[in-house]
Chain A
Amino acid sequence: MEPFQRLDAVALPMPRPNIDTDQITPARFLHKPRSDNHGAYLFHDVRRGPDGGMDPDFVLNRPDYAEAKVIVAEHNFACGSSRENAVWGLYDHGFRAAIAPSFGDIFSSNALKNGLLPVRLPEDVVAGLLAQLQDQPGARVQVDLEAQTVTLPDGSVHRFEIDPFARHCLLNGIDELDYTRTLSPEIDAFMNRYGHENR
């Protein structure tokens, strides 16, 4: 996994609640292998008009946000299905952080394991950020994982909370599975005891 330390990038506003993972990556692309560019499937249907052509008004299609690496949305971002493809789509498109007041639980967990940082900020802070981004298309935010802060376009700095282990793994690009495998003796001991108790 690619380490995440600091990010200074254009932020894309998507001022909607409950954006579900079916919208982020439609189900008919779920069988595509990880080696594909999943950015091509990102918001595939909602970014297109009824004729199948790109909707120039959809925020992801606007030139202001071509370089965006941060996506900002209202509460319950990426709720619904457990498809890790939703994370792959955002990541492959270039996003490295998502800011919202809350996230779907499974998405949040998937994101952390793929180098995409989910940042929870209070509802009013996100509302303010969305307003700034809509007023100044192409405005940048700074996300500092080491300091656990986000700096908004207006210069205000906001601290966010993140699980310490997930932070450690992201900062250093560490894979959780490699770490867990060092605990094999403990797992074996547990399984022996557990199997005995459940006979």
Chain B
Amino acid sequence: MSERAEPRTLFEKIWDRHRILEREDGQVLLFVDRNLIHDGSAPAFEALRQRGLKPRAPERMLGTPDHYMPTDVRRVEEIADAERRGMVEALARDTAEHGITAFGLEDPRRGIVHVIGPEQGFSQPGMVIVCPDSHTSTHGALGALAFGVGMTETTHVLATQTLWQRKPKTMRITVDGRLGAGVTAKDVILAIIARIGTAGATGHVVEYAGPAIRGLSMEGRLTLCNMSIEAGARAGMIAPDDTTFAYLAGRPYAPQGHQWEAALDRWRALPSDPDAIFDAEVTLDGSAIAPMVTWGTSPEDALPIDGAVPDPAASSSADRREAMRRALAYMGLTPGMPLEAVPVDRVFIGSCTNGRIEDLRAAAAVAEGRRVAPQVTAWVVPGSGLVKAQAEAEGLHRIFLDAGFEWREAGCSMCLGTNGEIAAPGERCASTSNRNFVGRQGPGARTHLMGPAMAAAAAVTGHLTDVRRLMAGG
């Protein structure tokens, strides 16, 4: 029986198609379709320059500044900090020098690289996509193998359009049933990470499957795959289907005309064969997932919003008790306190996790006719210039501004604060981003992760809130 007759997973089909050669020790030289870059990629170009090399396939690259420019500026010259301005300028210089497509600060198409790759149709099913950023896993939502790499690996891809990889294991996470009202992709991924832990998928490529996943919009799928890295996964992916194809059709870099038809034929063959075997299987009941919020300093520290701050004493492991105590001390929380009683100072709606149009619509639906609580500073930071334009065309910015939110320019912003936008020590932030690590949003800042509607609910009530009550018209 030939090897081709073996049932294969989506991951294995993409892997096989990109395998240039395999060494005796099992290392595979993998071809890379898309090499995305941003304003933190300068060291890779510098390394390339030092070796006297040039990018092997500039046409396979797309760059945009997202990490370093403040989200209250529209022009490079307006970036006050010289080092940050230098990062944005370096991207413009490096891309111009090598003929790489870049959406600069003045380009309406610019934004967070993980938002614009799918938005432009540059990221497509069946591709291998890398970027020097761990949230590259986002692009797996289109049915691609997408993962973050370091700077040395980025240099390697620039020079050769390839990467050495050892074949990872596969894990299928099936979410059965239907999600309840007010439950979003963000809640699903937080529930998954709470279940398997931040190292639960280490060494694996995850495929998300099941009716609850199939039912997600493309935006929801991007949110879900985005946080695969928070479960330790090398990558997360979802089989392409009609939702994927409808999303991609007509986008600027998507195939057009007869090439579109040919691409559809290839893409329809990508989903895992029915009897394909995964190295690990996890199953969740989607109907049992509630809106989630994190209470600690790891994404696995997530609970349904109607719960209470957990008590370390209730944990059976001494190590876990110690870790929980440390997290609660940092977060300034007391065991047993209802999560809904936790007050917030800041609200951040945006990031590569939740900065897309559907996210802004969900937040606006909660904000409409309400006011941001007096003690709260609330920001909405669209994921791209086009998301911003779309939101403005729909009047969402009016809703946010009338409610007292700040309506800002696209960028990574407070997700990690490389652009200087951070919370003050001790400030508590309801955030739609992806990491609640110690100091992630600034030294001493306290982050609670949640979905966009939940973050909007926290903004208008001034404390963590079960958005389902506001949705019911309360």
Contacts and interface: CB of A to CB of B under 8 A. Distances in A.
Interface in A68-101: 74-76, 79-84, 87
Interface in A16-36: 16-18, 20, 22-23, 26-28, 30-31, 33-34
B160 A180 contact: yes
A62 to B, nearest CB: 19
Given A31-B87, A113-B150, A176-B156, A50 B444 contact: yes
A102 B31 CA distance: 28
Specify the main secondary structure of chain A where it touches its partner: loop
Contacts of A20: 298, 435, 437-438
A157 to B, nearest CB: 25
Contact of A199 (B43, B51, B262): B262
B149 interface: yes
B438 A187 contact: no
A179 B318 CA distance: 47
A22 to B, nearest CB: 4
Contacts, number: 155
Counting chain A residues whose Cβ lies within 8 A of the other chain, the interface size class is: 35 or more
A101 to B, nearest CB: 9
B262 to A, nearest CB: 7
A81 to B, nearest CB: 5
Contact of B149 (A106, A183, A184): A106
Contacts of A184: 160
Nearest to B20: A190
A149 interface: no
Interface in A165-199: 165, 176-177, 180-181, 183-184, 186-187, 190-191, 194, 198-199
A30 to B, nearest CB: 6
Contacts of B319: 17, 74
Contacts of A155: none
Contact of B150 (A106, A176, A187, A190): A106
B439 A45 contact: yes
Contact of B25 (A22, A74, A109, A165): A165
A164 interface: yes
Interface in B410-444: 416-418, 420, 422, 425, 435, 437-440, 443-444
B27 A105 contact: no
Interface string B203-232: 100000000000000000000000001101
B469 interface: no
Interface size on B, as a range, is 35 or more
B134 interface: yes
Interface of A: 16-18, 20, 22-23, 26-28, 30-31, 33-34, 45-46, 50, 74-76, 79-84, 87, 102, 104-106, 109-110, 113-114, 163-165, 176-177, 180-181, 183-184, 186-187, 190-191, 194, 198-199
24 contacts: A17-B319, A20-B437, A23-B439, A30-B67, A31-B83, A31-B86, A34-B46, A74-B319, A76-B202, A81-B133, A82-B150, A83-B150, A84-B150, A105-B203, A106-B149, A110-B150, A163-B25, A177-B155, A177-B159, A183-B21, A186-B21, A187-B162, A198-B266, A199-B262
